[in-house]
Structure 1
Amino acid sequence: MTSLDRSTALLPDSDAFAALLRDIAAGAADRDRNDENPVEQVAALKRAGFGTLRLPAAFGGPGLSVTQLFSAIIDVARADPIVAHIFRTHFWFVEERLRTSSDPLSAEWLSTVAQGKTFGNAFSEKGSNAVGSLVFNTRLLPAEQGYRLDGEKFYSTGTLFSDYLTVTATTDHDSVATVVVPADRDGVQIIDDWDGFGQRRTGTGTTVFTGVAVSEDEVLSDTPYDAEPQPTVQYASLQLFIHAVVAGILESVVDDGVTLLRSRERSFSHAVTERPTDDPLLQRQLGEIASTAAIARAAVLDAAAAIEAATESYGEDRVPDAELAIAAQLKVAKVKVHLDAVAPEAATRLLELGGASAASRSRNLDRHWRNIRTITLHNPVGLKARAIGQNLLHGTALPANAYF
């Protein structure tokens, strides 16, 4: 694995970053097949400064735009979508701290990011509470010094590989708090028990908090349940990250499609041509898959540009222009609806380029479909499409939570 100086971020358009991604991609299929955690690969990206890409120069980073960041996320997902997905909550954390960077506490956390530290999530819970309701069984209660955190989370993507954990919890005064604690603090237990058929090694398992001490300056927010929602693009950004991973997988599907066809030495006796690479039907199918991947990248980056426009509209209250925020949310939602329809099909059609031999376990080409289908299940596409339609017909507001 390439050894890199953490103090200098590798720019996504550099030869060194491309070499790092080739290194990550080289073992992606084997790691998936052998069910191995990408510990070294995540560490290499952290050393390369991947987690600092959005930090402006004042905070020790290269200051990439939102659109440039999402392009880099697609590139990492092309190399290994497992590795890319692990950083999802980290970039949400960074963006929220950038939004409030004038606050001394946010500035301090941004300095921690500049040191190469990454932040995982412990938001979702199992149980009967509606997803997105922001009502949690995990509790943050006053203690002798600061607070005490107790509870159990699931779908803790990235936590296994992170230095800090962002945690949501119910307080004793009808509010939801978000706190950040070191991953190795006493009382924190990270269990690698995610058993999904795709995105298997993202650390998306159980995180348990038992009497975890939380100081005052580790409470990021404390929002009353009846607070009026403010315009935001942070939820849209969280969702677009998922779609960027799908776009990266589609580009990997194209790469494997080219390799697969070139590896075939024979075709069927009733095929159009003797050589598969000369078969116009297979050429067309590969071209259609490549077109799907190209449109996926373009759609993700178009939505990222809308998020960027809303981000640049922040006023003194650090809240984006409401119309720009809604426009970004709608674009991100439409990307989801489209990709959910075309991405799994593209991954399926990849297998048809190789016939029965494409099902070889050693090739592990089915990982693309498994990864796409798993990551698209993060929220129901039907509810998202309906929300778009309601907005078009009646101007109905979009759901104001991180799960839409």
Structure 2
Amino acid sequence: MQPLTREHILAGLPVVVAKIAEGAAEREREGRLPYELFRLLRTTGLTWLRVPTSLGGPGGSHADQVEIIASIASADSGVAHALRTHFGFLEAIALDPDSDSSRRFAVDVLVGKLFGGANMEIGTPRPNMIRTTLLQEGDHYRLNGHKYYATGAIFADYLSFSAIDAEGQPTGVIIPANREGVDVRDDWDGMGQRLSASGSVVLDNVRIEASELHFQRVKTSPFIKRHGAVRAQLHLMAVVAGIVRNVLSDATSYVQHQARSAKHSASATARDDHFVQRTVGDIAVLSHTIDTLIAESARHLDISQAAILANAPDLDDVVLAAQLANSRGQVMIGQLALKAAELLFDTGGGSATARGRNFDRHWRNVRTLCNHNPAALRARVIGDYVINGVRDDFDEGRVF
């Protein structure tokens, strides 16, 4: 069979999105994880679009991938969110295509394998503290710990985990998801993104071979780390963009087919009511604005990737430009998206709040995603840079 081309993969996106959209509101309300959709995604090429042509992949761009994320999120934001770690792994391959790790794992990605994992832990005094241990035992190692925010891990074929070794130094592993001692749990209890499978993983004396140690996460170049932080943040904002597209489609369909005009409206139907038209128009404008902001960040990431691969002399400036563009957009996207999700309820009366429609999922999902990288912190970092030239957060590639 001929490999799928970039053009062929992207041409099939609308059909995949339509399939994901089927029963999405009901699925979220009932808490049913969409395993069948991830089996579908493995066959579409959408999960390997970013694999470079030098490794046999389609060589898609950041702009392509951001559109994939937003489009999937416009059908089901949990599915799009659950791909975050996998797409992050693809980025590592795209930025270092000649490494042994990239050559090894690109083969798996190109046959539909999905990569997940977890690095964060809860119950520590501060975020990013690691208590999971990787200790040597003869010619192999043992991994023990309790991870959280394992977004998408329950759907994955391979899992990556961070840990500390016997000297207290950070390290990491990549292992098959079905390894004995790995218990991936569907225990995410957030009010939103309920189907992103962002729960926990218990690692109970998991045997790790020396060949499965993976140091890329902790020994990467500062420019790749900074670039990767932007990509991780942008993924979430692309999910938010998709949610607002879903808000617009829900508002339009509701007004066209179910909503009644208000008791005191001068119009016989909701679709002819000027205030309802204004509300839907405002949502459309908000959606367009958010799409424009994420597209601009994606454009900067494509430029940043090219500069990293070429080791460009202005690499620092190019990466910083991507960080600034993304940060500025991120501050505004959350505000605009929450407003759009709220406006949806102005398209109708009490019936717009019916649980069967599950319109409230949009606000809950946006609010939950915005808690990952608080806009107030991002705005402060931008302000400190503009006023004082301080760029510590950008240089460290922080993801709040």
- Give the TM interval when normalised to the shorter protein: over 0.9
Gaps spanning 5+ residues in structure 2: where?
none
The equivalent position to 1:101 in structure 2, one of 97, 106, 109, is 97
The equivalent position to 1:352 in structure 2, one of 343, 346, 357, is 346
Q: How far, CA to CA, are the matches of 1:179 and 1:306 in structure 2?
A: 31
Asked if residue 137 in structure 1 is aligned to residue 139 in structure 2, the reply is no
1:200, CA displacement in angstroms? 0.6
**C-alpha spacing 1:355/1:398, structure 2 compared with 1 (3 Å):** farther
Of stretches 151-160 and 39-48 in structure 1, the one that deviates more from structure 2 is 39-48
**C-alpha spacing 1:224/1:288, structure 2 compared with 1 (3 Å):** closer
Asked if structure 2 preserves the Cα contact closer than 8 Å seen for 1:54 and 1:65, the reply is: yes
Q: How far, CA to CA, are the matches of 1:96 and 1:228 in structure 2?
A: 11
Asked if structure 2 preserves the Cα contact closer than 8 Å seen for 1:52 and 1:61, the reply is: yes
Q: How far, CA to CA, are the matches of 2:108 and 2:292 in structure 1?
A: 33
Of stretches 371-380 and 123-132 in structure 1, the one that deviates more from structure 2 is 123-132
The match for 1:68 is 64
The match for 1:220 is 214
Q: How far, CA to CA, are the matches of 1:92 and 1:386 in structure 2?
A: 26
Identity %: 33
1:43, CA displacement in angstroms? 1.4
**Residue deviations 1:305-363 (CA, integer Å, cap 9, x gap):** 11110110025669981111111111111222101211112101101102110111111
1:254, CA displacement in angstroms? 0.4
Local SS of the residue matching 2:167:
coil
Asked if structure 2 preserves the Cα contact closer than 8 Å seen for 1:9 and 1:48, the reply is: no
Gaps spanning 5+ residues in structure 1: where?
none
Asked if structure 1 preserves the Cα contact closer than 8 Å seen for 2:117 and 2:159, the reply is: yes
The match for 1:86 is 82
The equivalent position to 1:127 in structure 2, one of 103, 113, 123, is 123
Local SS of the residue matching 2:42:
helix
The match for 1:337 is 331
The match for 1:167 is 161
1:274-313 equivalences under 5 Å are: 274-313=268-307
| Amino acid of the structure 1 residue aligned with 2:157 | D
The match for 1:114 is 110
Bigger helix fraction: 2
1:269, CA displacement in angstroms? 3.3
Structure-1-length-normalised TM-score: 0.92
Local SS of the residue matching 1:150:
strand
Local SS of the residue matching 1:233:
helix
1:212, CA displacement in angstroms? 1.3
1:296, CA displacement in angstroms? 0.7
Of stretches 169-178 and 353-362 in structure 1, the one that deviates more from structure 2 is 169-178
| Amino acid of the structure 2 residue aligned with 1:216 | A
The match for 1:32 is 28
| Amino acid of the structure 1 residue aligned with 2:289 | I
The match for 2:228 is 234
Of stretches 241-250 and 365-374 in structure 1, the one that deviates more from structure 2 is 365-374
The equivalent position to 1:50 in structure 2, one of 46, 51, 59, is 46
Of stretches 149-158 and 312-321 in structure 1, the one that deviates more from structure 2 is 312-321
Asked if structure 2 preserves the Cα contact closer than 8 Å seen for 1:197 and 1:374, the reply is: yes
The match for 2:175 is 181
Q: How far, CA to CA, are the matches of 2:295 and 2:26 in structure 1?
A: 30
| Amino acid of the structure 1 residue aligned with 2:123 | G
Asked if structure 2 preserves the Cα contact closer than 8 Å seen for 1:55 and 1:61, the reply is: yes
Q: How far, CA to CA, are the matches of 1:290 and 1:363 in structure 2?
A: 20
| Amino acid of the structure 1 residue aligned with 2:22 | A
Asked if structure 2 preserves the Cα contact closer than 8 Å seen for 1:6 and 1:49, the reply is: no
1:68, CA displacement in angstroms? 1.2
Of stretches 361-370 and 391-400 in structure 1, the one that deviates more from structure 2 is 391-400
**C-alpha spacing 1:318/1:273, structure 2 compared with 1 (3 Å):** same
Q: How far, CA to CA, are the matches of 1:146 and 1:108 in structure 2?
A: 21
Q: How far, CA to CA, are the matches of 1:92 and 1:305 in structure 2?
A: 17
**Residue deviations 1:168-227 (CA, integer Å, cap 9, x gap):** 1112234211221111001111111111111111111110111112223322217779x9
Q: How far, CA to CA, are the matches of 2:141 and 2:294 in structure 1?
A: 40
Asked if structure 2 preserves the Cα contact closer than 8 Å seen for 1:177 and 1:219, the reply is: yes
Asked if residue 373 in structure 1 is aligned to residue 387 in structure 2, the reply is no
Aligned pair count? 396
The match for 1:260 is 254
**Residue deviations 1:280-300 (CA, integer Å, cap 9, x gap):** 111111011111011111100
The equivalent position to 1:251 in structure 2, one of 245, 248, 254, is 245
**C-alpha spacing 1:167/1:262, structure 2 compared with 1 (3 Å):** same
The match for 1:388 is 382
The match for 1:200 is 194
Asked if residue 269 in structure 1 is aligned to residue 263 in structure 2, the reply is yes
Asked if structure 2 preserves the Cα contact closer than 8 Å seen for 1:147 and 1:214, the reply is: yes
Local SS of the residue matching 1:314:
helix
Asked if structure 2 preserves the Cα contact closer than 8 Å seen for 1:174 and 1:224, the reply is: no
Q: How far, CA to CA, are the matches of 2:327 and 2:76 in structure 1?
A: 24
Q: How far, CA to CA, are the matches of 1:185 and 1:281 in structure 2?
A: 57
Structure-2-length-normalised TM-score: 0.93
